[in-house]
Amino acid sequence: MHILAAKLRLYWQLIKSLQTGLLLATGLAGYMSGRCPVLACPTLLGLAGSLFLAISGSTVINMVYDRDIDARMQRTCGRPLPAGLIAAREALLVGLGLSAAGVGWAAALDLRYGAVVLAGLFFDVVIYTIWLKRRTPYSIVFGGIAGGMPVLAGRTLAVGGLDAVGMLLGLAVVLWIPTHIMTFSIRHEQDYLSAGIPTFPSTYGVATTRKIVALSSLAAGAVMVAAALLLGMEWGYLRLLGVLSAGLLGLVVHSMARPSDRANFAVFKYASVYMLGSMILLVMASL
């Protein structure tokens, strides 16, 4: 029993539980924005389960593929795979199994929903991690597309297909991703240089990267508000969404005016709060 618990703790690290949880929250919000009040609890549980398995599986596969560069970075060298705590073959089989189970479950719920989940997995593993991550800093665009798939998938399951709200919510996440990833790459620039991973700070400089973060934050907030308006969000919730967006943009502008590690880290942390808060508001407005 102790061995099993220890193994589960290691895999909990491999699935990047906080990142997986945030993506899962966007998927649930996408579904509930079209199906509130939620009457079909089995479908909601199926959505949560299939997304969790698919996201976790793709993350584990990514960790297997990236174990060599993780070993060269101080921040990640202690992860279970580069540290030798889990065998790469075992982790790959687990990742493939989780992914197959998640996509299969999603397809059983609805083929269109399953197709979006599969597309997200493909963009994340094949396009972003395997093909582009080690070649170009623009890989984050495709990583962003993968990140936008859970909310689009949830909305697709709710309304029975792609619609304008789902596309806007997915786009908002895609535009939010640079704020999340670029501030992180600024904070850990030396690690990425050691691993030979091209990032915007190392390619175009930190000052230019901060400007891109500002533009992406502004665009993400604008698209999120557009989706909320299309959903018919009431003024009170819309105002709170505006406050969240203004807070993000304010921190970004401050980090440009007075650049520091602390200001950059504040943007990175608040970006997750902003996305989670926006999704909660969407659900509350749909009740």
Each residue of 25-80: pLDDT tens digit?
999 999 999 876 666 688 999 999 999 999 999 999 999 999 999 999 999 999 99
**CB 86 within 8 Å of CB 14:** yes
Which residues, in sequence order, are CB contacts of 123 under 8 Å at separation 6+?
142, 143, 145, 146, 149
When pLDDT is averaged across residues 184-211 and rounded to a whole number, the result is 95
pLDDT tier for residue 285 given thresholds of 50, 70 and 90: confident
Each domain of the chain, given as residue ranges in start order, spans: 2-286
- Residues 135-157 have pLDDT tens digits of 999 999 999 999 999 999 999 99
- Report the distance separating Cα 55 and Cα 53, nearest Å: 6
**CB 176 within 8 Å of CB 216:** yes
pTM for the whole thing? 0.95
The pLDDT, as a whole number, for residue 6 is 85
Domain 2-286 bears CATH identifier 2.40.33.20: no
The pLDDT, as a whole number, for residue 36 is 65
Percent with pLDDT over 90 in the chain = 91
84: left (phi over 0), alpha (psi -120 to 50) or beta: left
- Residues 211-260 have pLDDT tens digits of 999 999 999 999 999 999 999 999 999 999 999 999 999 999 999 999 99
Which residue is it, tokens 């942390």? Answer: 269
In terms of Cα–Cα distance, which of 235, 276, 285, 282 is closest to 25? Answer: 276
- Report the distance separating Cα 44 and Cα 59, nearest Å: 22
Which residues, in sequence order, are CB contacts of 172 under 8 Å at separation 6+?
148, 220, 223, 224, 227, 278
- Report the distance separating Cα 255 and Cα 253, nearest Å: 5
